[in-house]
A and B are shown apart, each in its own frame.
Chain A
Amino acid sequence: MKRLWAQSLAVALVMAAGVATMLIGLGAYYSLSETRTAYYDRTQFADVFAFAVRAPKSTAAEIRQINGVAQVETRIVKAALLDIEGFELPATGYFISLPASGENTLNRLHLRSGRLPGPGSLREVAVSESFAQAHGLQIGSTLDAVLNGAKRRLTITAVVLSAEFIYALGPGDMMPDDRRFGIIWMREPALAGAFDLEGAYNSVTLRLLKNAVMEDVFQSLDNILERYGGEGAYGREDQLSHAFLDAELQQLSAMSRILPPVFLIVTAFLINMVLARLISLEREQVGLLKAIGYRPTEIAVHYAKLVLLISCMGIGIGFAAGTWLSHGLTVLYTKFFHFPYQIFVASPKLYVVAAFVSFAAALFGSMRAVAGAAALSPAIAMQPPAPPSYKRFWSGRLQPLKHLSQLTIMVLRHILRWPVRSMLTTLGISLAIALLVSSLFSVGAINYMIDVTFDRTDRQDASFAFGEARPAQALQDIARLPGVLVAEPYYNAVAKLSNGHHAKRVAILGKPEAMDLSRVLDLELKPVALPASGLVLSEALAKKLHIERGDTVHAEFLGGNRIEADIPVVDIIQSYVGLMAFMDMKALNRLLRQGPRISGVNMLLDPAQSDAFFAAVREQPALSALALQRVSLAKFQETIAENIHIQIAVYCGLATIIAFGVVYNSARIQFAERARELASLRVLGFTEYEVSRLLLLEFALLTLAAVPVGWLAGYGLAFALVQGFQSDLYRLPFIMLRSTYAYSALIVMVAVALSALIVRRRVTSLDLVSVLKTRD
């Protein structure tokens, strides 16, 4: 047992990787989803959300009558620019009304500190915790907001959390930026006064009964809000924060389906290899034990103990590593996901499950070898195993073989003599490579996505969104602001697109004919001009609706005149973010039977005048949200850079563990089996270097064979991950860089070389005299 400890440890490490990835993947999955559910329940998170332009409060009673509706809450939700002392950029505030007094019934706030704004107070607010922390705002701090054109100084009375904003993404951002996006709750009379919404609301949220039929509720709600500019009801899956958490959960589950099985399969293989070797070494003892009357089960139990020992080591290390990494993940999650309570990544139950599954894998791997030992007949067991017989590979004296040295022939014959072991070793190494390919590729893929999204598609520095669509002349006001080099308008209209029973609620983005900042790219990433009429859909949306170029899609515009139309899909284009539908802006306005209107403006800014620009922005009454694409990109890249290094380190570690586990074990076994052969060679006058080369050459060949297999498997694995990671919010392009392949192979080669070199050192300490004294 003692001489096996290093090998056992190598196996245990692979197993530990399986245990740890299971703990982290499944642990994060379950705790995230369970924590979310608990949070939702406790704060009465709504099931249905809808916006309108201005709906009278009297309609609330009507909504309450809808079949399946349990609770209704109307409110005012508006975006407005914020001015924070000591922060040069304007931030966007998302203002949500609290009832005139007391608490909300739905989407209740979780109070972190302070008290809710006083009943009827016009200046007191509650702010989201992440925003408060980003600016060091405390109870009693003040900030300025431009509410519907009027500047107002607000006083913070509470720091809060909301289940609606577990993931708080500002308008136009790719990554949460807590400095530039805050959620602010005010008493309803204050907001109603500021936005001329007395006796009215522009947002309604519902909680449904268990038996409610979503589609019917949407329909009824839309019918009621139709007259008041309703923009269409949607459920949780289209609620931004919820959808992002869903995307994260989806990724976690994809990871947990792939990683732990890989490690556990390799563990089973290694245990089989180590045990088979041990048993063949100990066949004499086994024979003796059986001869003196030990039962097969007792023999089996003896070896099962080794499996148990390895498993305990593996599970122990896996628990420790899993717990430690889970803690890291918890820290990461608290950065992005705002929950009122700590997310405990792995539950005790999961530890039990992980241990059980891993142990089962180990037992499975040991079954064949142990059964073989138990079945050994005493007589046969006492004889030495038959000498290995070799064959010439192909009967003839092939010409190329003449040029091979005898040492090389030895290597080749040995590989072919143990084809299953060679193949499994190759497979193990290739899994390590595959793992790296599937992880490293995301670096290239993300860079590609950034390039496509920010450098080729949305090239604006910033964009404004108006609170409500405005006449086209509003563009001039923006273009005139200091520092604006180019201003390009857009108009968007929310619509439900459907094709048969496939339907999706999206914003159709109208763009001007001469668009140059925010462009539309075709599948080959060439800019396309939008057709004079008809729609252009992103590939992901087209797939979702089962639509191809040339088909017609039915559009129900929500809000405004509630136009319905069948629109031809003229083109399908590329986009990695969101589900996109584009139309020429004039055509869109014409379709909606309205004069030229715009929803916002994309801009190119002169960096030299940014101070003047920001100062002017703060005085603009009509602007409610400012997106700073370049700032957002920087934030995005910074976050990615931080996380990608961790990810790469983890995956390199995991791949190294596999490569080491496989190569170290098979090298040790090889070395033990071939000690006599190697000693003979040394006696014959072969140098240490030549003898080691024999050993290393075998692994070099197996590794070489593993590289293409690993690349292929990695390609498949990455493809599966890309599919698994797809969500309505974003998609990772499936881009494989040559450097990804190169690095993956290189890292694993280094790991293989190091593992083999550790064993190679034994060649030096080979005791020639004693090896030759014994019979095989």
Chain B
Amino acid sequence: MTVTVFSGRGLTKTYRSGEVEVHALRGADIDLYEGEIAVLLGPSGSGKSTLLNILGGLDRATTGTVRFRDHDLTNASERELTQYRREHVGFVFQFYNLIPSLTARENVALVTEISSNPMDPEKALGLVGLAHRLDHFPSQLSGGEQQRVAIARAIAKRPDVLLCDEPTGALDSKIGVLVLEALDHVNQTLGTTTAIITHNAAIQSMAHRVFNFGDGRIISTHANETRQNPSEINW
């Protein structure tokens, strides 16, 4: 049985800068199911990040509705969105956005301190294979390591969803695979619903379902019959 975690209907987003209007989303409909890994593919500027930010409560749609389980995010206040992010969402970005003044462990602890049912920072870092790098500062870590700290930080609070915007974008393929493995591992052990934006078509093979973007809409969706292990992915 599939449980719908997110459902977005008729989402549009219009940016207005002076005279110019940019339609980043032109009526996107999307459902994400519990426990799945969804990969969002599409050309640059097609609105992937915009959609993900709306789902994650960082941004608001111009029109349309978004529901997360029983929360209606459509008309949520800033305060409610903050609370929503705090309780339910984990983010991973292309640029890791770690806090430079905190060690790996402390970056994770930052989140566990404010969540109700967190795992140990050490355990979260262990899940992404960084048990040996607990006391390093971001400036002392490689890009891949930093990204895995970011994943550990995102999952340590046991979020309902993990939203990743080009998590491997700044990494080469070997390191990128390590990051994907970490995401897959988390999905399997914790069952966290995961959405991954990527430019890299090769990555779609690890997904349960794949969404194809084009011009502010989702043009097509398909489910993978067989999923590939991230370690088999190569680009």
Contacts and interface: CB of A to CB of B under 8 A. Distances in A.
Contact of A684 (B49, B91, B95): B91
Contacts of B85: 683-685
A685 B89 contact: yes
* Chain A CB within 10 Å, residue with most, of B95, B138, B153: B95
Interface string A561-572: 000000000000
B97 A388 contact: no
Interface stretch (A210-218, A408-416, A456-464, A505-513): A408-416
Interface in A664-686: 676-677, 679-686
Contacts of A682: 82
Contacts of A685: 82-83, 85-87, 89, 111, 114
Interface stretch (A133-141, A443-451, A767-775): A767-775
Contacts of A389: 100, 137, 139-140
Interface in B76-120: 78-79, 82-83, 85-87, 89, 91, 93, 95, 97-103, 106-107, 109-111, 113-114
B139 A684 contact: no
B114 A677 contact: no
B138 A687 contact: no
Contacts of A405: 113
A410 B95 contact: no
A414 B83 contact: no
A680 B139 contact: no
A406 B87 contact: no
Given A685-B85, A776-B95, A390 B114 contact: no
A768 B137 CA distance: 23
Contact of B58 (A410, A683, A688): A683
B59 interface: yes
Contact of B82 (A410, A687, A769, A775): A687
A388 B99 contact: no
Given A677-B99, A685-B89, A406 B82 contact: no
Interface string A198-222: 0000000000000000000000000
Contacts of A391: 137
A407 interface: yes
Contacts of A386: 139
Interface string A387-419: 111111000000000000111011001100100
A681 B107 CA distance: 10
Given A406-B102, A410-B99, A684 B111 contact: yes
A404 to B, nearest CB: 10
Given A410-B101, A684-B110, A768 B139 contact: no
Contacts of B99: 406, 410, 677, 680-681
Contacts of B63: none
A410 B103 CA distance: 10
B53 interface: yes
Interface string A102-142: 00000000000000000000000000000000000000000
Given A389-B137, A685-B85, A772 B79 contact: no
B11 to A, nearest CB: 15
Contact of B106 (A409, A768, A772): A409
Contacts of B89: 685
A672 to B, nearest CB: 15
Looking at B59, B78, B82, B98, the one whose CB has the most chain A CB atoms below 10 A away is B82
A390 B58 contact: no
A417 B86 CA distance: 29
B113 A388 contact: no
**B85, B99, B113: most-surrounded residue (chain A CB, <10 A):** B99
Interface string B170-211: 000000000000000000000000000000000000000000
Given A414-B101, A686-B114, A406 B106 contact: yes
Contacts of B103: 392
B198 to A, nearest CB: 16
A687 B97 contact: no
Contact of A390 (B78, B95, B109, B137): B137
A662 B27 CA distance: 50
Given A390-B101, A685-B82, A776-B95, 9 more contacts: A387-B139, A390-B139, A406-B102, A406-B110, A410-B101, A677-B99, A680-B98, A685-B87, A687-B82
8 contacts: A390-B101, A390-B139, A391-B137, A409-B101, A681-B99, A685-B114, A769-B49, A769-B58
Interface of A: 386-392, 405-407, 409-410, 413-414, 417, 676-677, 679-688, 768-769, 772-776
